[in-house]
């Protein structure tokens, strides 16, 4: 049976390593925006950038064709945009990178939440999530994915097995039968 639009909370980090976090200083760093064109309305705090838009904040990078951002009275940023496709990348404290892509996005700076829409995917190492809508909290590293009406309407998730490290003891061998 097809399950369109069913939410599948993952409640785990893609690599199942919940102890690592996005670089701790990213949220306190300034936001830098580069684009081919830019328009800002100081009264409404709405900014529109278009053409090869690149937004950086610490290790976080967001690339799109068009971006609209606004700031509320408390200074929280909201961004939305589209691209062919939109690409997101952020380094974790562990040194690993999280990459994400979709046709459009919304980013809520106050919560660190990135929502990806249409042909969305998120990868961390060799682990990956594909869905029509993926919500990723950059602070807690919690993902939620929804299937869509295209394809089979389901979320596709791949977790790679973890290799044993050299610090793990070898399994005890059984004594030979006499």
Give residue 19's pLDDT: 26
Record the tokens describing residue 42, joined without a space.
């100081």
Q: Where are the domains of the chain?
A: 7-156
Please, what are the averages of pLDDT over each run of 10 residues along the chain (178 residues)? 33 26 64 92 92 90 93 86 90 86 92 91 89 88 82 84 63 51
**In angstroms, what CA-CA distances link 136 with 19, 34, 35, 46, 72?**
16, 24, 25, 24, 22
pLDDT of res. 90: 87
Fold of 7-156: lipopolysaccharide transport protein A fold (2.60.450)
User: For position 92, what pLDDT does the model report?
Assistant: 81
Q: How far lies 158's CA from each of 90, 122, 162, in Å?
A: 20, 11, 13
Task: Transcribe 100-146 into DSSP letters.
Answer: EEEEEEEEETTTTEEEEEEEEEEEETTEEEEEEEEEEETTT--EEEE
What pLDDT score was predicted for residue 162?
Answer: 77
- Those residues whose C-beta lies under 8 Å from the C-beta of residue 156, and which sit 6 or more positions away, are 129, 130, 131
């Amino acid at each position: 049976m097809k399950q369109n639009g069913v939410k599948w909370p993952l409640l785990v980090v893609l690599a199942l390593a919940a102890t690592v976090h996005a670089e701790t200083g990213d949220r306190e760093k300034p936001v830098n925006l580069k684009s081919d064109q830019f328009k800002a309305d100081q009264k409404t705090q709405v900014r529109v950038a278009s053409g090869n838009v690149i937004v950086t904040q610490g290790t976080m990078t967001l690339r799109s064709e068009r971006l609209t951002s606004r700031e509320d009275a408390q200074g929280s940023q909201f961004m939305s945009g589209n691209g062919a496709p939109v690409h997101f990348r952020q380094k974790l404290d562990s040194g690993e990178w999280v990459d994400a892509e979709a046709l459009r996005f919304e980013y809520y700076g106050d919560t660190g939440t990135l929502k990806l829409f249409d042909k969305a995917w998120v990868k961390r190492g060799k682990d990956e999530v594909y869905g029509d809508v993926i919500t990723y909290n950059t602070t807690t590293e919690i993902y939620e994915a929804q299937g869509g009406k295209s394809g089979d309407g389901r979320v596709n998730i791949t977790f790679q097995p973890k290799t044993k490290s050299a610090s793990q003891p070898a399994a005890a061998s059984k004594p030979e039968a006499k």
